[in-house]
């Protein structure tokens, strides 16, 4: 568990990001990496439901975790999927236990192969409306402490508020168009990552970091930069290496 001061700093950072216009995908990506920093976990993934109620991966702390989350969706199984369906947390799931093997089958095996031993899923919800789930992965066996669980749920709540906010806090419904636009943007960003990775012969995580760094440094939206890269309207040789 991180220090109380660091927890406070990260929550202040998150809340400050919600005050002005912000890049939703970049915000959620940052939130996922902050979860890894604050909690005793190795990786984090965020899923939200699209306009048809189907879960989609919107952010992950690293590329391997994003692929694992996509695998879970393809097989429609895993604690995150179950958490979204029921609206209840799925905590301390031992991926090697008979129950996990029986319940989550291929997902449990894939997660173990990725180096994870335990996983947890927390609902992203506003009152009784569940819009997605946050998945936490541990590389060592152990239960999530009560304090870590509280911090993780609070961060999931912050992510929920970020998704639902539309300038007026009293609007307590999901803006389907905004969510769909964010999901479409994510697809374009993945394509841009692939383009940059292939051209520079680097990993997808490094390609993503370069795109995010350039977008921030030049005050442009990540999705807009990605779209230019995919369309060939942007010279990738000029992207900042950070």
- The beta strand positions in the chain, using DSSP E, are 43-49, 55-60, 90-94, 118-126, 129-138
Q: CB of 84 within 8 A of CB of 48? A: no
Q: Is the pLDDT of residue 197 over 90?
A: yes
Q: Is the pLDDT of residue 115 over 80?
A: yes
- Please report, for the chain, the start and end positions of each structural domain, with discontinuous segments joined by +: 4-172, 179-238
Who wins on pLDDT, 44 or 158? 44
pLDDT tens digits for 165-182? 643 433 434 456 667 777
pLDDT tens digits for 49-95? 887 888 999 999 999 999 999 999 999 989 999 999 999 999 999 99
- pLDDT for res 113: 94
- pLDDT for res 27: 83
Q: CB of 196 within 8 A of CB of 209? A: no
| Ordered DSSP codes for 41-109 | -SEEEEEEE-TTS-EEEEEESSHHHHHHHHHHHHHT-SHHHHHHHH-S-EEEEETTSHHHHHHHHHHHH
The domain 4-172 having CATH identifier 3.30.450.40: the answer here is yes
Q: CB of 199 within 8 A of CB of 181? A: no
Class of the 179-238 domain? mainly alpha
Q: CB of 83 within 8 A of CB of 133? A: yes
Question: Whole-number mean pLDDT of the chain?
Answer: 85
Who wins on pLDDT, 16 or 130? 130
Q: CB of 107 within 8 A of CB of 77? A: yes
């Amino acid at each position: 568990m991180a220090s109380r001061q660091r927890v406070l700093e990260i929550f202040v950072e998150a809340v400050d990001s919600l005050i002005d216009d912000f890049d939703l995908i970049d915000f959620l990506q940052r939130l996922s990496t902050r979860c890894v920093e604050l909690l005793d976990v190795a990786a984090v993934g965020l899923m939200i439901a699209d306009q048809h109620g189907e879960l989609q991966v919107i952010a992950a702390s690293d590329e391997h975790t994003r692929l694992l989350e996509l695998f879970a969706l393809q097989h429609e199984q895993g604690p995150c999927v179950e958490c979204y369906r029921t609206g209840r947390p799925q905590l301390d799931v031992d991926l090697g236990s008979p129950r996990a093997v029986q319940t989550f089958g291929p997902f449990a095996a894939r997660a173990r192969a990725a180096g994870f031993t335990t996983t947890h899923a927390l609902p992203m919800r506003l009152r009784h409306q569940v819009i997605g789930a946050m998945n936490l992965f541990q590389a060592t066996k152990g239960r999530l402490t009560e304090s870590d669980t509280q911090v993780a749920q609070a961060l999931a709540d912050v992510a929920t508020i970020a998704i639902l906010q539309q300038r007026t806090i009293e609007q307590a419904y999901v803006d389907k168009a905004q969510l769909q636009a964010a999901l479409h943007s994510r697809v374009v960003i993945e394509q841009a990552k692939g383009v940059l990775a292939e051209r520079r012969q680097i990993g997808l995580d490094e390609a993503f970091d370069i795109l995010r760094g350039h977008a921030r440094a030049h005050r442009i939206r990540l999705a807009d930069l990605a779209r230019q890269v995919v369309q060939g309207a942007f010279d990738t040789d000029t992207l900042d290496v950070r």
